Amino acid sequence: MNIIKTAALLAFMTALFMGLGLMIGGQTGMMIALVIAIGMNFFSYWNSHKMVLRMHNAVQVDEKTAPEFYELNRRLAEAANLPMPDVYIIESPQPNAFATGRNPENAAVAASTGLLNTLTMEEIAAVMAHELAHIQNRDTLIMTITATFAGAISMIANFAMFFGGGRDRGGIGIIGTLVAMIVAPFAAGLVQMAISRTREYAADKRGAEICGNPMWLASALEKIANGAARIPNDVAERNPSTAHMFIINPLGKYKRDNLFSTHPDTQNRIDALSALAREWSVEDNSIQDDTPQPWGR
């Protein structure tokens, strides 16, 4: 099913890319966009996860450079019956995390120093379990490819005026170019929202199963949401096309970023986890130690 979804996503993004090329440069622009899209499809499948990690200046760690955090992910991957992912740390005061990779055998998880230094061990385990759930559900390929295409579409739209867009080239003129500059990124954003929102609840539930306690994740989501609202993530602001990959929207500091959020409402996610905890007869006070873990690099 996820293979079909990925193929459908690639087809839609390719069509959107071609439509943008048609609006800007007519049939010639459409053909150029098609060639670029084919190249991007191939490149994104093999390299998009590396690009996302590089965008956020993620640094890979191991059992020597971050022993506690690495061991935690190893135990969680074992509990989820997954291959051990590559583990990364992002130097950022905003608490957040994401997963990426084309399949479970080629996956990576990343957490910010802000998350590692402000959450408890149980909360960190729940967050990383959530990210492993995305890997297990094979969401990461779709989310990463979407980020790559959305970024490319926004970039081309921003430079649309430099491509001409004149009727003499078969395009639709300056008005059409302006419309393309607005509509294409908006459409790409809608795809990002649809992808992320439909997957977060499933990853929350599976993450709770992996770590064993829904309330650990509920507590973590509340802290991360509060942190994201107060602490800016400058790298994410420069690369908004990757926002849907994070466990909580990293662009939450500014109201304009919440107009079309890529994530479900945090309180709704917490309520769903609380209901799951009641179903499992898990106590809300299950987090015994509220001391943050000093796990930054």
What residues are annotated to the active site?
Answer: 131
Task: Please say whether the beta carbons of 264 and 272 come within 8 A.
Answer: no
Q: 97-103 and 59-61 as β-strands: parallel, antiparallel, unpaired?
A: unpaired
Alpha-carbon distance of 288 to 269, in angstroms, equals 22
Long-range contacts made by residues 260-265, C-beta under 8 angstroms, separation at least 24?
260/189, 260/190, 260/193, 261/193, 262/189, 262/192, 262/193, 262/196, 262/197, 263/196, 263/197, 263/200, 264/197, 264/200, 264/201
Within its chain, how far is the Cα of 188 from the centroid? Answer: 14
